[in-house]
């Protein structure tokens, strides 16, 4: 087993979903299980804890072991050889694992290992997984998704394999399945999921958590980020589509408030949120000098929000931006990826929050469309991009307010604070990862703190 862990540890830092960039993992084997497959391959999934992270991070690593002489996989998908004559392949890129996973989510079943049981559950009875080709979706950061398609016109499926695991039901499964079963036209059909129970080293008991989630795949569609970026670059009006997106967002929020309990936003909620805002601001102040210069003005926006009226808390998307929405010619805007911010603890991601947080996230995303074009085309008139973002933001708010039946002008102070907090977070991220992009959130911060609290929402973009 030492050779297996060494092989995995050498491979993991090159993967996009590995959290501790620039540091080799220090792995501890927690559990493993096998899935049935054809002769010539062994399909085994390892749960390993990276003890070098604080707190430790638990990873799910599906592996297909084959005789080295029989391996046909691309070198990019080969993990290594833990022992002579045997080669490990990253499971999602091998048909043996992809087929076994599809069977779990379309037909059910289980897998077992020492102290571990995993169970597949289907929510689309009668959907066959036979005869489908599999491929891995490129570009994902924190998970790995496998797309299954067939030539006979069967419903295409996409199955997301969660790489970083947490105890508890993943909200991506919980919320999207509930919305789909409720008949929401704004989410894809849920197909099935995989749950596991494995040893918990902290309590010496066991924990249960989500391992994978399958849903209908929408082929030949673009996400809203690409659609908006093309429109902005071409100078095309986006207000109709932005208004429709606001309406779809409000419709999903209304369904979530009906399907799950809401919670009053009392003093304890405000105190906790205020502490989060100020903690993030302190980090930003230390890393981004331009924010330190505006600290008092930022705190003033937060203080005004704490004195404003707050709506009840409810379940929300939690990580909402244009990249989390698909534009379907048949269904309109479709929302995806309800798992919330992947690095937050599962209990926090499943807790009720302010629906306005999703609204603020989308407003920031429109700003990023305009800001990215300004960075890519520095000779382009900034006024045109600012006008495009302003119009898209306002149309989104109009569509949201109409369907949600709320007067957002009465909640502008709280919305401004949530958008400001999001921009402060963005400034930290950009300063650490893309310094040339930090101007985008900094411009938003300057705009948000430079407005009197009585300013109409129509001038906040």
Q: Is the dihedral of CA 318, 349, 426, 409 positive or negative?
A: positive
When comparing pLDDT for 326 and 22, which is higher?
326
Per-residue pLDDT tens digits for 346-388 = 888 899 999 999 999 999 999 999 999 999 888 888 899 999 9
- The confidence score (pLDDT) of residue 53 equals 83
DSSP 84-142: TTEEEEEGGGSHHHHHHHHHHHHH-EEEEETTEEEEEEESSTT---TT-EEEEPTT-SS
Q: Which residue, among 312, 297, 316, 324, has the nearest Cα to 417 in the 3D structure?
A: 297
Which residues are CB-neighbours of 385 under 8 A, at least 6 positions away?
Answer: 232, 370, 371, 373, 374
Per-residue pLDDT tens digits for 376-424 = 888 888 899 999 999 999 999 999 999 999 999 889 999 999 999 999 9
Per-residue pLDDT tens digits for 52-102 = 888 899 999 999 999 998 898 899 999 999 999 999 999 999 999 999 999
Q: How far apart are CA 225 and CA 274, in angstroms?
A: 30
Per-residue pLDDT tens digits for 177-216 = 999 999 999 999 999 999 999 999 878 899 999 999 999 9
Burial class (CB in 10 A: 0-12, 13-18, 19+), 47: buried
- The confidence score (pLDDT) of residue 343 equals 67
Per-residue pLDDT tens digits for 431-448 = 998 999 999 999 999 999
Multiple choice CATH, 222-459, 3.30.465.10, 3.20.20.140, 3.60.15.10, 3.90.1200.10:
3.90.1200.10
Per-residue pLDDT tens digits for 234-269 = 999 999 999 999 999 999 999 999 999 999 999 999
What DSSP character marks residue 326? E
DSSP 334-367: EE--TT--TTS-HHHHTS-B-HHHHHHHHHHHHH
Q: Which residues pair with 195 in a beta bridge?
A: 119, 210
- The confidence score (pLDDT) of residue 127 equals 83
Tokens representing 7 are: 């092989």
Dmax over CA atoms of the chain, in Å, equals 72
Confidence of residue 128 (pLDDT cuts 50, 70, 90): confident
Percent of the chain whose predicted confidence (pLDDT) is above 70: 97
CATH 3.90.1200.10 segments of the chain: 222-459
Q: Is the dihedral of CA 453, 454, 457, 461 positive or negative?
A: negative
Q: How far apart are CA 56 and CA 32, in angstroms?
A: 18
Per-residue pLDDT tens digits for 10-65 = 999 999 999 887 788 999 999 999 998 888 899 999 999 999 888 899 999 999 99
- Tokens 């100020």 correspond to 278
pTM of this structure: 0.91
């Amino acid at each position: 087993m030492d050779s297996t862990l060494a092989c995995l540890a050498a491979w993991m830092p090159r993967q996009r979903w590995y959290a501790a960039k620039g540091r080799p993992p220090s792995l501890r084997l927690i559990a493993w299980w096998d899935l049935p497959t054809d002769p010539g391959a062994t399909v085994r999934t390892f749960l390993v804890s990276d003890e070098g992270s604080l707190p430790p991070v638990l990873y799910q690593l599906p592996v297909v072991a084959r005789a080295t002489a029989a391996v046909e996989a691309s070198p990019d998908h080969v993990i290594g050889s833990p022992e002579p004559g045997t080669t490990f392949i990253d499971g999602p890129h091998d048909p043996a694992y992809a087929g076994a996973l599809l069977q779990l989510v379309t037909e059910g079943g289980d897998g077992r290992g020492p102290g571990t049981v995993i169970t597949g559950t289907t929510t689309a009875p009668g959907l066959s997984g036979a005869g489908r080709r599999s491929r891995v979706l490129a570009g994902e950061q924190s998970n790995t998704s496998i797309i299954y398609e067939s030539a006979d016109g069967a419903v295409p499926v996409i199955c997301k394999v969660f790489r970083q695991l947490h105890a508890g039901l993943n909200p991506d499964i919980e919320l999207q399945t509930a919305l789909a079963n409720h008949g929401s036209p704004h989410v894809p059909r849920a197909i099935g999921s995989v749950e596991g129970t494995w040893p918990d080293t902290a309590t010496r008991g066991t924990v249960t958590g989500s391992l994978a989630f399958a849903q209908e795949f929408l082929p030949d569609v673009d996400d809203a980020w690409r659609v908006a970026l093309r429109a902005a670059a071409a100078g095309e009006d986006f207000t109709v589509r932005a208004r429709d997106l606001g309406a779809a967002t409000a419709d999903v929020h209304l369904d979530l408030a009906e399907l799950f309990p809401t919670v009053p936003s009392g003093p304890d909620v405000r105190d906790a949120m205020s502490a989060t805002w100020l903690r993030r601001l302190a980090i930003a102040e230390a890393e981004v000098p331009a924010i330190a210069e505006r600290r008092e003005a930022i705190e003033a926006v937060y203080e005004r929000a704490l004195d404003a009226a707050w709506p009840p808390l409810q379940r929300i998307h939690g990580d909402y931006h244009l990249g989390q929405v698909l534009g379907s010619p048949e269904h309109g805007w479709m929302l995806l990826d309800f798992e919330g911010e992947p690095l937050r603890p599962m209990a926090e991601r499943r807790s009720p929050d302010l629906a306005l947080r999703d609204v603020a996230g989308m407003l920031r995303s429109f700003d990023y469309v305009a800001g990215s074009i300004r960075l890519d085309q520095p000779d382009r008139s900034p006024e045109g991009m600012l006008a495009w973002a302003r119009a898209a933001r306002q149309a989104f708010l109009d569509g949201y307010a109409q369907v949600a039946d709320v007067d957002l002008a009465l909640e502008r102070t709280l919305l401004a604070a949530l958008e400001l907090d999001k921009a402060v977070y963005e400034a930290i991220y950009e300063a650490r990862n893309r310094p040339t992009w930090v101007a985008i959130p900094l411009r938003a911060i300057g705009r948000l703190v430079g407005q009197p609290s009585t300013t109409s929402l129509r001038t906040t973009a």
